[in-house]
Amino acid sequence: MDQTRTVHLRTLWTAACLALGSGLTACGGGESGTSVFSVSATPAPVAAPIPSPAVSPVASPVASPVTSPVASPVASPVASPSPSPSPSPSPSPSPSPSPSPSPSPSPSPSPSPVSTDGLALAACVASGKGTDYQVGPGKSYTSLDAVPWEALKAGDTVRIFYTATPYKGKFMVAAAGTEAAPVRICGVRGPNNERPIIDGNGATTRAALGNAYGNTTETRDIHQNRTVIAIKANAGGTYTDFPSWISIDGLNIRAGHPSYSFKNAAGATKPYDPFGACIWIDRGQNILIADNEISDCQMGIFSKSNDDGPFGQTRNIRIAGNYLWGHGIAGDDHMHTTYTQSVGLLIEFNRYGPLRTGALGNSIKDRSAGTVVRYNRIEAGAHAIDLVEAEDFPLTALATPAYRSTYVYGNQIRKNGDEGSFIHYGGDHFGAPAGANWGESLFRKGTLYFFHNTLHGTGSGARIFQISTTQETVEAWNNVFWFDPTVTELNMRQAENDSLATTYTPDGILNLGVNWIRTGWTDTTQWKTLKGQIKGAASQLTGATLPFDAATFMPLAGSASLDAGQAAPAGAAAYPVGYQLGSSFTPVVRTVKGSKIDLGAVER
């Protein structure tokens, strides 16, 4: 991918921390209670499941009775600029031709019915609080480009009905919903529970959206060329506008990759840009992306933030119950399955399948403040989870206490250790000079709480944690770390980048509570002795045989991981483990059945 283009596009992503607080249940006919938008402690009411013979492979999470809180975001200390037209970006060079992607891996079908009850999503029906736009054969709108997206307002519902022929359309949402009357774009499933398909390859854009995407030809092209679905402010509004209280759920969204093309609002055929995503959240607050299958794009979901003011950040995003697979660009490490930079982010109950063959990105890459990653199945990536510095909204992030605390728990992770460390925490831009507004001064410099996860490593080598500096600490307890017999080099930590500024000490602080790990692990490598510090090595339980079922991650009878859990440290006491993913990726309530909770992501 053209690196100049990459830098140019990164300077454009400035608004991605969306407040997911409530209202989607109201879309289903007036149910009361905490909404499915919420990233706070109280769960939404559970709607009756939709009968489904299960064609889609998307996991269907169950609502958690104890949802961990996400710290309230702190407004940026930077004074908001006076309203002014959005500046046009500098012209960017045409990207170098990217190689044709290898075919995406085929997803494995879910072995059990898929429902939306765990997400507390009501059926895709009109809210009764706005206009009901119905899309499909025999409906008021037969194609996506006929829908007046530019006119959506609070309480509106766009219902996309399943048809065997995919919808060849792409669109933008700029509406300002409210907590009581959110804007919902949802899929009405087919007779065999099929999600309606939105296919970006050959898609047509609504002509009336042209000036909403941008106020110049260049900005219109930038925003149209990089995504199938954009959530962004209308370019015809004021500089401080932002979308809010929006849900996109129940859809199959695919095919926004540079090897594909579409017709833009002016009717011209254009290829997709290399740096983009199926769903691009450019600006917005209170956004829910749930119960979708998202595949075959540069990235699945992307969010951005900047320091222009609270309106410039995406705040409180919930990404829940989606199946994401087949993303990335072969030979490139800049595109990831999800790439987020927000204030208040909850990633839960998703299945992260393999990236596109030959793609070098991560499953989860995050630069947010207030990040919680829980109850997901993650099956690939250079890093399974990459938690690094806030690149484009540093002043806001550094002023947000939640930036210093990150919670990762209840996840089932399987990947090839030869492709990179499992968990990276700290930062990824190194060697900044003193006083620079980039690099090490922006690193997380806080604590990653990593607990009740089960890791399964394949390949020949494995490094679990990569911790950037000794100003970053990982607290790890109640995890299970298994690596296949083919893994002959098993390291608890990986050395950080050699170009780290000399004023910092690399490799971090790792505090180990009780964990189970395969016999033969070490904290050194054949190349160097790591710096930083590891504590609690003597607390580890070890064994030479797989302690859980490889398919379900269920602990085996007699395993030393059973009834071995310890209490959480004070910093994670507000984040109890209430759920686990079942054998069909369907979350179920986690109930302690012995004298103590089991180690790992699944209770026997």
pLDDT at 32: 30
**Residue 408: what residue type?**
V
pLDDT at 40: 53
Average pLDDT over residues 68-97: 34
Measured CA to CA in angstroms, residue 246 lies from 20, 289, 296, 380 at distances of 9, 9, 23, 29
Average pLDDT over residues 227-252: 98
pLDDT at 27: 31
Phi, psi at residue 493, to the nearest 5°?
-130, 155
- Residue extents of the structural domains in the chain: 1-38+69-326+335-355+362-375, 410-604
pLDDT at 73 over 90: no
Q: In this structure, are residues 186 and 249 in contact, taking their beta carbons and an 8 Å threshold?
A: yes
pLDDT at 118: 56
The DSSP secondary-structure symbol of 551 reads T
pLDDT at 57: 33
User: What is the β-pairing status of strands 269-271 and 261-263?
Assistant: antiparallel
Q: Which residues pair with 246 in a beta bridge?
A: 183, 287
Element (H, E) at 184: strand 183-188
pLDDT tens, 498-515? 899 999 999 999 999 999
Check the CA dihedral 483-488-493-494 and report its sign.
negative
pLDDT tens, 246-295? 999 999 999 999 999 999 999 999 999 999 999 999 999 999 999 999 99
Q: In this structure, are residues 443 and 426 in contact, taking their beta carbons and an 8 Å threshold?
A: yes
Q: In this structure, are residues 299 and 288 in contact, taking their beta carbons and an 8 Å threshold?
A: no
d(CA 106, CA 127): 36
CA angle 393, 398, 401 (to 5 degrees): 125
d(CA 308, CA 289): 25
Nearest-CA neighbor of 266 among 220, 228, 297?
220
pLDDT tens, 374-428? 999 999 999 999 999 999 999 999 999 999 999 999 999 999 999 999 999 999 9
pLDDT at 297: 98
Given pLDDT bands bounded at 50, 70 and 90, which one contains residue 582? confident
- Cβ count near 83 (within 10 Å): 11
pTM: 0.84
Q: Tokens in use for 549?
A: 């079922």
Given pLDDT bands bounded at 50, 70 and 90, which one contains residue 528? confident
Mean pLDDT of the chain: 84
Ramachandran quadrant class, 370 (left: phi over 0; alpha: psi -120 to 50; beta: rest)? left
pLDDT at 3: 34
Given pLDDT bands bounded at 50, 70 and 90, which one contains residue 120? confident
pLDDT tens, 29-49? 222 334 678 765 333 322 222
pLDDT at 592 over 90: yes
Average pLDDT over residues 446-461: 98
Q: For a pLDDT cut of 70, what percent of the chain falls above it?
A: 81
- The count of residues in the chain is 604
pLDDT tens, 316-366? 999 999 999 999 999 999 999 999 999 999 999 999 999 999 999 999 999
pLDDT at 365: 98
Average pLDDT over residues 559-582: 96
Higher confidence at residue 84 or residue 261? 261
pLDDT at 52 over 90: no
pLDDT at 356: 98
pLDDT at 97: 35
Nearest-CA neighbor of 168 among 210, 209, 207, 205?
205
